[in-house]
């Protein structure tokens, strides 16, 4: 089955700096890669996703890149703000959420 590894497990950055979270996956058939943000005590919420037919997607301060050959994808947050502090999960799937596999999460702390 699919195996998703996520690094780092914790990340501290100064406000205004950039943050990068990296994930690798094992199943070459995976074609959907969502990223979720979970604030303390709250539910996970989708912040961005990418499909295998594109290499990069951007939404304001958030961007995701995908390298299918190397089987890795990354989340980039620029100009970080304290409200970006949360746990971020990457995921990979070849059949939508029927077979989704999540990474182990990255706890991001943005220091004011």
Partner 1 sequence: ETGVTQTPRHLVMGMTNKKSLKCEQHLGHNAMYWYKQSAKKPLELMFVYNFKEQTENNSVPSRFSPECPNSSHLFLHLHTLQPEDSALYLCASSQGQGNTEAFFGQGTRLTVV
Q: Where on the chain is the footprint of partner 1 (CB under 8 A)?
A: 31-32, 34, 36, 42-46, 49, 51, 87, 89, 91, 93, 95-105
Print burial letters for 13-38: b (CB count within 10 Å at least 16), e (below 16).
beeeeebbbbbbbebeebbbbbbbbe
- Considering the complex, state which of residue 80 and residue 106 has its C-beta at the smaller distance from partner 1: 106
CB of 98 to partner 1, least distance (A): 4
Residue 109 has a CB neighbour count (10 Å cut-off) of 14
CB of 43 to partner 1, least distance (A): 4
CB of 100 to partner 1, least distance (A): 6
- Considering the complex, state which of residue 77 and residue 105 has its C-beta at the smaller distance from partner 1: 105
Q: Are 45 and 88 in contact (CB under 8 A)?
A: no
CB of 46 to partner 1, least distance (A): 5
- Considering the complex, state which of residue 15 and residue 39 has its C-beta at the smaller distance from partner 1: 39
Give which of 62, 60, 53, 70 is closest to 21, Cα–Cα: 62
């Amino acid at each position: 089955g699919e195996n998703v590894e996520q690094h780092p497990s914790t990340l501290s950055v100064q406000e205004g700096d950039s943050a990068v979270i990296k994930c690798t996956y094992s199943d070459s058939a995976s074609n959907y890669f969502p990223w979720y943000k979970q604030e303390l005590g709250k539910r996970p919420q989708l912040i961005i996703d990418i499909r295998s037919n594109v290499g990069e997607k951007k939404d304001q301060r958030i961007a995701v890149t995908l390298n299918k050959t190397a089987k890795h994808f990354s989340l980039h947050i620029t100009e970080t703000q304290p409200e970006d502090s949360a746990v971020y999960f990457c995921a990979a799937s070849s059949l939508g959420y029927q077979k989704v596999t999540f990474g182990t999460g990255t706890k991001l702390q943005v220091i004011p």
